[in-house]
Amino acid sequence: MESSRDPAAFREFEHTGWETASRGYDQHFARLTRQTVPALLAAARVAKGKRVLDVCTGPGMLARAAVEREAQVVGLDFSGKVIKIARRNAPDAEFLEGDAQALPFDADSFDAVVCGYGIIHVPNPEAALCEMHRVLKPGGYLAASVWQSPAPTNGFGLLFGAVKIHGNLDVPLPHGPDFFQFSEPEKLRTAFEECGFADVAVAGVDQIWEVAAPLGMITAILEGGVRARGLLLAQTEEVQGAISATVANGIVQFRSADGTYRVPMPALVGSGRK
Ligand SMILES: C[S@@+](CC[C@H](N)C(=O)[O-])C[C@H]1O[C@@H](n2cnc3c(N)ncnc32)[C@H](O)[C@@H]1O
């Protein structure tokens, strides 16, 4: 698995990014990533009475849904600002500040672990996945989601396609692992197996990001994204304008009868048993 070549700087970039984007993420991205919640909870076998850890909890949508299934839930995130929002959204879960790569729990502590779009944000995803394996009880399941690869028919394809046409993907940001390194089913499966998981399964989840205007996706990324936002802001103003215009043009194909734009944002959910 690829890791950051500059883990301290990349972690700092991510941490500052999430402290800045916490409200925007809750406002724009949460209504998209909430669509992955049922698949993640089912794949991790979250049920009444189970002790569940939600790693990289963000606004706490997985934690909240697990509480609604009468599980005992702990959510973990490295951003204090994010944790405040999670506590408000999921008052019956417990939340802790901590790093996904060094989980502050004993081995064999949880019946289930879930991680929504977290492993694509840490400097060392292998450390994070192996930590999730360590804290699971034998027989417990991990379920983790990532985005599917960019394609002309999905939102990330439009965005990265436009950056390739007008701008530069190789910008002077702290080096992070490839954002899409787990975005093919075989790659996600291999990552789980490398950390010792058995019965590994990978499933696609079709999701739709509904935006009110052609520029809605760019606004959401600028207000609630971290890595994609950094990539956009590292371009010149002129290039940013050209990228926005190309993305907005591309989004017109997803216009629905009610006048909103329904952008496909498919995910993968990987799961495995300790
Ligand atoms: C893309 S958001 C995912 C939020 C939520 N799980 C979801 O499914 O929408 C990633 C979250 O991971 C957190 N995060 C990033 N790096 C982390 C790290 N090294 N340790 C703990 N949390 C981290 C961020 O603060 C952010 O809240």
Query: What tens digit of pLDDT does each residue of 199-245 get?
Result: 999 999 999 999 999 999 999 999 999 999 999 999 999 999 999 99
* CA pair distance 225, 240, nearest whole angstrom: 15
CATH number at residue 139: 3.40.50.150
Measured CA to CA in angstroms, residue 117 lies from 64, 262, 270, 273 at distances of: 16, 21, 11, 19
What spacing in Å lies between the alpha carbon of 201 and ligand 1's midpoint? 23
**Which parts of the chain sit beneath pLDDT 50?**
none
Tell me, yes or no, whether 140 lies in a domain. Answer: yes
Within 6 A (CB) of ligand 1 lie: 14, 18, 30, 33, 56-58, 62, 77-79, 82, 99-101, 116-118, 121-122
Query: Is residue 11 domain-resident?
Result: yes
Residue 70 lies in a domain: yes
- The pLDDT value given to residue 172: 84
pTM higher than the cut 0.75: yes
pLDDT of residue 6: 96
Specify if 249 maps to a domain. no
Counted domains in the chain: 1
**264 C-alpha to ligand 1 centroid (Å):** 22
Residue 221 lies in a domain: no
Closest ligand 1 atom to residue 123 Cα is: 19
In a domain, 238, yes or no: no
* Residue 2 confidence (pLDDT): 97
Per-residue tokens: 13: 């970039």
Please report the pLDDT score of residue 169 as a whole number: 82
pLDDT at 171: 83
Flag whether 72 is in a domain: yes
Q: The domain containing residue 203 runs over which residues?
A: 7-149+177-211+265-273
Q: What is the pLDDT of residue 95?
A: 98
Please tell me the distance from the alpha carbon of residue 247 to that of residue 150, in angstroms, as a whole number.
Answer: 13
Q: Is 44 inside a domain boundary?
A: yes
Out of 33, 121, 209, 268, give the residue to mutate to test ligand 1, the one with the largest number of ligand atoms within 8 Å of its CB: 121
**120 CA to centre of ligand 1 in angstroms:** 9
